[in-house]
Amino acid sequence: MDLKSKHKVSASFSMSSMTDIIFLLLIFFMLTASFITPSGLPVNLPSSKSSEIVMQKISVTITKNLTYFVNNQRVKRASLEKVLRANLAGNEGIVVLHCDASVPVERLVEVAGIATALKAKVSIATKPE
């Protein structure tokens, strides 16, 4: 009696599907890791123990001379609310504040208050210790 099976199962393993998955994971991590966009203006940021990276939508920079920049465009203090309202229209409301360490806190609070009044989330940029 011949009991051999007509369908023989191969014991070999193809690595091509595994390498496809590895390359897809590699591309995914490369794309998600490049979302850090530093401010282009020279500002001496304060340091903190815990620094969380936030995807930057709108950048507000206050230099040590109390000069205001929104997305690297110089704006006057009086027109800051109007410019922020125009930039927040249709965008996700995340405002990242890049303030020099020597800027008085009242200026920081003023900008944060304007952004909060426009229903935006406010994050303060710091450098890690």
Q: What is the domain-level CATH number for residue 70?
A: 3.30.420
pTM exceeds 0.85 for this model: no
- 57-88 pLDDT, tens per residue? 788 889 888 899 988 889 998 898 898 888 88
Decide if 104 is inside a domain: yes
96 close to 59: Cβ distance less than 8 angstroms = yes
Decide if 13 is inside a domain: no
Decide if 57 is inside a domain: yes
Decide if 85 is inside a domain: yes
Decide if 35 is inside a domain: no
Decide if 62 is inside a domain: yes
Decide if 86 is inside a domain: yes
Number of domains into which the chain is organized: 1
69 close to 60: Cβ distance less than 8 angstroms = yes
- Is residue 89 packed enough to be buried (19+ CB in 10 Å), middle (13-18) or exposed (0-12)? exposed
Q: Region 31-42: what's the mean pLDDT?
A: 62
Q: Give 6's pLDDT tier (boundaries 50, 70, 90).
A: confident
Q: What is the domain extent for residue 82? A: 47-128
Decide if 32 is inside a domain: no
- CA dist 98 and 42 (Å) reads 10
